[in-house]
Structure 1
Amino acid sequence: MRLLLIEDDVEMACFIRDALLEEGHDLEVAPLGEPGLARAEAGKFDVVIVDRLLPDLPGTVLVERLRAGGDVTPVLMLTALGSIEDRVVGLGCGADDYLVKPFAMAELSARLAALARRGGTIIGELASVGALRLDRLKREVWRDGRRVVLQPREFELLDQLVRQAGRVVSRAMLLEQVWHFHFDPQTNIVETHMSRLRQKLNAGSDQDLIQTVRGVGYRLRTDG
């Protein structure tokens, strides 16, 4: 894999660099957030690894800026902050996974491989539900021929609904499949992302493609 590590801790950066290079990966290291963001925006990386507590630019802000520019490269956030609230904030900014320090190198490698597969190295496919079209390979969405630009979590939310089109998808299932939570973090992270997804999908249309089944979950309409 071609990887970018944005980490200001020299000892930690060297440890990760040496281990990943030994595994045969192509790795670049940026010691600060601003130059790291510039490299992430300019390069074609399979995964970007970001330390959350960078001295010049918080990792959460870095990821938000990366996503705001339309970049969907998978991001793994590293941090010493391991509470549920910290994990929710880290994932809510647009990161795809969150690994708490200290960690085993084997776990980091496994998570990177999983993110690279989700980021587009798996075989994609086209899906159609009514006037909605979803391309899993290119991670693109259209409604009535109009391109809908989604953030990674929004795309994954929609993908889960498309896979179960016409059936109710529970909030617990979305937390597990999209955020990999096997518990309820007691936040409105699903509702917040679903609201953004709806706004983008329904722009210029009178029909809401996503139905809320109160107290249960959400269902994608098959006639829209």
Structure 2
Amino acid sequence: MRILLVEDDPVLREVMRLSLRDAGHRVDEAGTLEQAAHYWHVQPFDAVLLDLNLPQNATPDSPLANGLSLLREARARGDRTPVLVLTARNRTDERIAGLDAGADDYLGKPFELAEVEARLRALARRTAGTDDFSEIGRLSLDRKARRFAVDGALLELPAREFEVLWELMTPPGRVVSKRSLSDKLSDFSESLGDNALEAFISRLRKKLVGSGARIRTLRGLGYALERGMDT
């Protein structure tokens, strides 16, 4: 997933960024409301992690007073990106306000990083309409364990190839454009070009031989993972 992390505490933001990247996600960080609003306008995300107490850092006439106003502005323009809000643990009023403004879930501080990842997975499944387990041919994906297997045997993949196959299998059969794949596998500090993406696809095709699944190229549209003949 490509995630927008909106948190003004630089230490917590860095810890969360590293944890999410270790889990295989692409993370764009915003420490101010204005930076977050800009990123959210110019780039589609799979999920947003939003601190409601983010302070204003703009001119006095800025419409963004806190994280809640950022969320309301996004929902008002029709943006339905799943949002997990971060709140003070004992502030019930914050949680209610966040949910009323359009948040999909909330998490009180302090929290366990493993719970952040679990809640993001749940939001992604709900949005994509997928289950924890997907299968096509003899290729399977266990999303909780973040594990691909062929006939039950672990399919080991480098990080980027893993991310490409994950997107193509969420769910299998749907067409995923090159632009969408590149966006999900990039962040504002590192962009994935077409040549690199095609190289990942080529290597994956070789590794999927005999799995009963294949990656099909649909010219002008993108790629789809579908059931294929074993070779």
Question: TM range, normalised to the smaller chain?
Answer: 0.5 to 0.7
CA-to-partner distance for each residue in 1:188-215, whole Å, 9 max, x for gaps?
Answer: xxxxxxxxxxxxxxxxxxxxxxxxxxxx
The equivalent residue for 2:119 is: 111
Alignment of 1:49-68 (within 5 A): 49-56=49-56, 57-68=65-76
Name structure 1 gaps, 5 residues minimum: 124-136, 138-224
The equivalent residue for 1:218 is: none
Structure whose CA Rg is larger: 2
User: 2: distance between equivalents of 1:73 and 1:10?
Assistant: 24
Is it true that 1:35 corresponds to 2:24 in the alignment? no
User: 1: distance between equivalents of 2:116 and 2:90?
Assistant: 16
SS at match of 1:71: coil
CA-to-partner distance for each residue in 1:96-151, whole Å, 9 max, x for gaps?
Answer: 1110010001110000011111222538xxxxxxxxxxxxx9xxxxxxxxxxxxxx
Is it true that 1:95 corresponds to 2:103 in the alignment? yes
The one-letter code matched in structure 2 to 1:33 is L
Contact 1:5/1:48 (<8 A) preserved:
yes
TM-score (norm 2): 0.51
Q: Identity rate of aligned residues, in percent?
A: 44
User: 2: distance between equivalents of 1:78 and 1:33?
Assistant: 14
SS at match of 2:38: helix
Q: CA deviation at 1:80?
A: 1.6
SS at match of 1:76: strand
CA-to-partner distance for each residue in 1:152-191, whole Å, 9 max, x for gaps?
Answer: xxxxxxxxxxxxxxxxxxxxxxxxxxxxxxxxxxxxxxxx
Contact 1:13/1:29 (<8 A) preserved:
yes
Aligned Cα RMSD in Å? 1.7
The count of residues paired between Structure 1 and Structure 2 equals: 124
Contact 2:50/2:83 (<8 A) preserved:
yes
The equivalent residue for 1:15 is: 15
Contact 1:41/1:71 (<8 A) preserved:
no
